[in-house]
Structure 1
Amino acid sequence: MEAKQHGMGIIMTLLLLATLFFSGARAAAHDQATPVLHPVILVPGYSCSQFDARLIGEYEPPTPACGVPKQGREWFRLWENYTELQENPTLLPCYQDQLRLVYDHAAGDYCNVPGVETRVVSFGTTRSFVFDDPVQKNVCMARLVEALEGVGYKEGSNLFGAPYDFRYAPAAPNVAARAFAGFRSRLTRLIERASEMNGKKPVIIVTHSFGGDYAMEFLNRSPLPWRRSYVKHFVMLCGVIGGTPLMMEVVASTMGSSPAPTTLLGSVLSLGNRSFESMYNFLPSPVVYGDTPLVITRAKNYSAENMPEFLTAVGFSGEEIARYRTRALPLTLNFRAPLVPMTCINGIGVPTTYGLVYWDGNFTEKPQVVNGDGDGGVTLENVLAMKRLVGGDPAQPYFKSVLVPNTTHSGMISDDSALRVVVNEILKANQATS
């Protein structure tokens, strides 16, 4: 189970940032870069945004202990409350239950468990990226913030953060998605404010992993004149748009044979209760993977094009599959360029899951993995699709693909050499005249 959770950490694209140290040039770079820097908005990867919760009278806890200590209290940290769980591990089932989402048929949308209210912490700042959990502390953009500050950026002045509730996901147009709609509204105001604070300079949006899904869909739904006025450049790190075959192992592992996760992080990474809307957005896209067999059994092969059949095979209900068809699938089938200057930075040279073999058709067992190239989570096929679909669009004003050899999904912003590439591309985006 620990190995599987480690794999989840790769695919969910969580593991961000470690050390970047610009030795003696730091002060000089600060003095030189500060006057011309465009504001940067950071959109983090999966699980790298914190949120609070509060319980109201209608909440029905799985055990009495889950409701009594919190009932009637004001906001408390739900994700991720590492410190309190260290002090009182018996609260783990409570937090796991309170993290669940349910589907409201009347509203046609996902929502919290009845009686649980949530709010994202510190929107507009990068403070939401700092965690007490030692595992999360070094993987959620805190050190990328330090690296950007080293070249002249300053929190709250020209450096901002756009955290989001990663349990939810962008959904197809004209489908109810209140959480994503709220994110779009807040991000629009943040970008406009950041631009006004910096002499009306357009912003640079920098994302990692799942944050790229949020930003891409945000841009595609923003009016084109607004995009061209307020967004100077979009820098996408390890974008998971197009999904990943490794996610098919994740959903197969939720068939019920595995023990319950023993940490809050483990429960989020394993998605064992299948309640998060975002799970569907990580599934491989037919636009990227076509009819290539991704899961192989003696009786049948499964590709991105027959994903509903695979979901049926691993125990998803007809209702769950219908949500995949109506909410997540249309986004990948309608993939399009954001029509703002864009740089994609991806790691390559790392064994990455391209296929899974469950020869006997037993999805509760660990599969044989067929590897290809990528960053350990995002495949090279995904990278090539971005070049084809975005770079090949004649309406796209600028597109650049940067490949960083021997760099993992998390290493993109934890390896010194990769981080230097990232910061250098952000500085180049600042200087671009088109």
Structure 2
Amino acid sequence: MALVPPLPVVAALLLLLAQPLGNAAGDLHPVVLVPGYGSNQLEAMLTAAYEPPAPACAAAGADRQGWFPLWPNHTATRDASQVPCFADQMSLVYDAGADDYRNADGVATRVPSFGSARALIGWDQLVRQLEGMGYRDGETLLAAPYDFRYAVAPRGHPSAVGSRYFRDLGRLIRAASLRRGRPAIVVAHSFGCALTYQFLLSRPLPWRCRYVKHVVLLGSALGGFAPGMYGLSAGIDYGLPGVTRPAMLRLARSQQSTLWRLPTPLVFGDRPLAVTRSGTYTARNMSAFLEAIGFPDGVWPYETRVLPMWEALPPPMVPVTSVIGVGIRTPETYVFGTDGFEGEPEVTYGDGDGDINLVSLVAVEDWAGVEGQAMEVVRLPGVNHSGFFSVDSAVERVVDEICRAGGGSTELDRKFSI
């Protein structure tokens, strides 16, 4: 079973956050960062129950008596013989009897550095900007990394890892808020937006209003995205060389979170997303698509554990700012030829941020018309899905939105005050 993260670490962190803070940090609201898929580290440990899929894995396992980096996995990048080991150890198992996901036999995992912004991958520029404004890691600036292979499930379905994460995230936000004497600003990216949204819905409204001042969503995809379908049909290789197609398919199809990428009927409707000589697949016949790509085992968890969570998008009833990139060619429809799903498709492109389709990025705009829901959508032309952390103008705009959410001056205000 995955460990997310070790309970003594979480308890110690929450105890620290409960201590009063001096005036050095000023009037800042605490900021909690929720990363996207693959944007934090995972560590693994092999137990006696682990059966290596290849001799090289057995040799490497003999040298690993404790925790080692599972993601990012630089060993597999340098040594092709370790790629099958990574694929095996990174994959999950859906236990139909337990109706839940778990690690492969003999693999234990954990998420290091829960609570620290240093745990995040790719957020450095944004973190440096915030620290330059007076935020302090572990005090006013916190992060909630997670095992991104997992997700959560609707009421009536167990989700041990996801439920534990929601519990820890709730405790982190509450402790930070109480310590500062003011509610937190939650900043989420990509898959982290979907988790944050479902987390908010899982908490009573009085809890949300007391502990969450504002939510800033970066590149949110609350309606899924078309490339999520292609990932399930072709597999994912994590940028590693020489990953076989069976290994790529196992990596993609074993993970609970990849089913969350699928376009939802609510947002995508009848748009054609995948086309073959034998049929056209939309968000409304996704189960038929899973069958057609040879993934019938994904139908039940998709229909019972994923689809019910995205049949509606009720507003979270806390102030939300959604920052999105637009104006970038984004895959919209995949047309497969004579080789079917095993061949390379022709791709039709539309608007979006390069990864997420515009229709999904703007799905939250409907909240603006709901009484009591403060909502703003900020469009950044030419900024791709990861550009919030690498494009200077985009980073500055995100920082400005965090300042605005906290009631502080924005960059524009500061320039005019000089």
Amino acid in structure 1 at the alignment position of 2:302: Y
Structure-1 residue corresponding to 2:380: 404
Question: Structure 2: how far apart are the matches of 1:244 and 1:114?
Answer: 31
Greater relative contact order (CA < 8 Å, ≥ 6 in sequence): 1
Q: Which moved more, 1:188-197 or 1:237-246?
A: 188-197
| Partners of 2:78 and 2:347 in 1: CA distance | 39
Shift in alpha-carbon separation, 1:65–1:120, aligned structure 2, 3 A? same
Q: How far, CA to CA, are the matches of 1:375 and 1:276 in structure 2?
A: 24
CA distance in 2, matches of 1:98, 1:343: 37
Query: Is contact 1:36-1:430 (8 Å) kept?
Result: no
**1:392 equivalent among 354, 364, 369:** 369
1:21 corresponds to which residue?
none
Letter in 2 for 1:399: M
Q: Distance in 1 between matches of 2:46 and 2:124?
A: 30
Number of the residue aligned with 1:324: 302
- What residue in structure 1 maps to residue 203 of structure 2? 222
Q: Which residue of 2 aligns with 1:53?
A: 44
Superposed, 1:339-418 pairs within 5 Å as 339-360=317-338, 362-388=340-366, 390-396=367-373, 398-418=374-394
Whether contact under 8 Å (1:96, 1:267) holds in the other structure is: no
1:333 is the counterpart of 2:325: no
Distance 1:267 1:144 in 2: 37
How far residue 251 of structure 1 moved from its aligned partner, in angstroms, is 1.7
SS of corresponding position for 1:206 = strand
State the match for 2:31 in structure 1. 40
Contact 1:261 1:267 in 2 (8 A): no
Which of 187-196 and 235-244 deviates more?
187-196
| RMSD (CA atoms) | 2.5
| Separation in structure 1 between the aligned mates of residue 248 and residue 219 of structure 2, nearest angstrom | 18
Closer/same/farther in 2, CA of residues 271 and 431 from structure 1, 3 Å limit: farther
Any idea what the Cα deviations from partners look like across 1:42-91, whole Å, max 9, x if unmatched? 01111012121111111111124423543571222211232x44665533
Structure 2 equivalent of residue 285 of structure 1: 264
d(CA) in 1 for partners of 2:242 and 2:340?
A: 26
Q: Which residue of 2 aligns with 1:7?
A: none
Question: Residues 233-279 of structure 1: CA distance to partner in whole angstroms, max 9, x if unpaired?
Answer: 00000012211011122222149xx9x95278x99987655211111
Indicate if the aligned counterparts of 1:120 and 1:165 stay in contact, CA closer than 8 A: yes
Quickly say closer, same or farther: Cα 1:226–1:285, change in 2 above 3 A.
same
Q: Which among 167, 177, 189 is matched to residue 149 of structure 2?
A: 167
* CA deviation after TM superposition for structure 1 residue 392, in Å: 3.1
Asked whether 1:213 is paired with 2:204, we answer: no
Distance 1:322 1:86 in 2: 34
CA distance in 2, matches of 1:44, 1:53: 20
Task: Name the counterpart of 2:139.
Answer: 157
Q: In 1, distance between residues paired with 2:73 and 2:350?
A: 37
Q: Using the TM superposition, give the Cα deviation of residue 174 of structure 1 relative to its aligned residue in structure 2, in angstroms.
A: 2.0
**Structure 1 portions without partners, runs of 5+:** 1-32, 131-139
Tell me if the contact between 2:269 and 2:283 (Cα under 8 Å) persists in the aligned partners.
yes
Once residues 249 and 405 of structure 1 are traced to their aligned partners in structure 2, the CA distance between those partners, rounded to angstroms, is 25
Range with bigger deviation, 368-377 or 84-93: 84-93
- 1:181 equivalent among 159, 163, 183: 163
Partner Cα distance (1:268, 1:206) in 2 = 34
Q: How many angstroms apart in 2 are the aligned matches of 1:352 and 1:91?
A: 33
1:9 aligns to what? none
Identical-residue share of aligned pairs (%): 40
One-letter code aligned to 2:149 = R
Cα-to-partner distance string for 1:197-236 (whole Å, 9 max, x where unaligned): 21x2100000111110111111110111111100000000
* Contact 1:102 1:113 survives alignment (8 Å): yes
- Contact 1:271/1:279 (CA < 8 Å) preserved in 2? no
Counterpart amino acid of residue 285 in structure 1: T
In 2 relative to 1, CA 269–229 (structure 1 residues): closer, same or farther, beyond 3 Å? farther
Counterpart pick for 1:195 among 177, 192, 199: 177
Structure 1 counterpart of 2:405: 429
Aligned to 2:71: 79
Contact 1:298–1:359 (CA under 8 A) maintained in structure 2: yes
- Shift in Å at residue 95 of structure 1? 2.0
Offset of 1:184 from its aligned partner?
Answer: 0.7
Does 1:148 find its partner at 2:127?
A: no
Q: What is the TM-score of this pair, normalised by structure 1?
A: 0.83
Confirm whether residue 251 of structure 1 aligns to residue 232 of structure 2. Answer: yes
C-alpha displacement of 1:115? 1.0
Offset at 1:373? 1.0
Deviation at 1:301, TM superposition (A): 1.4
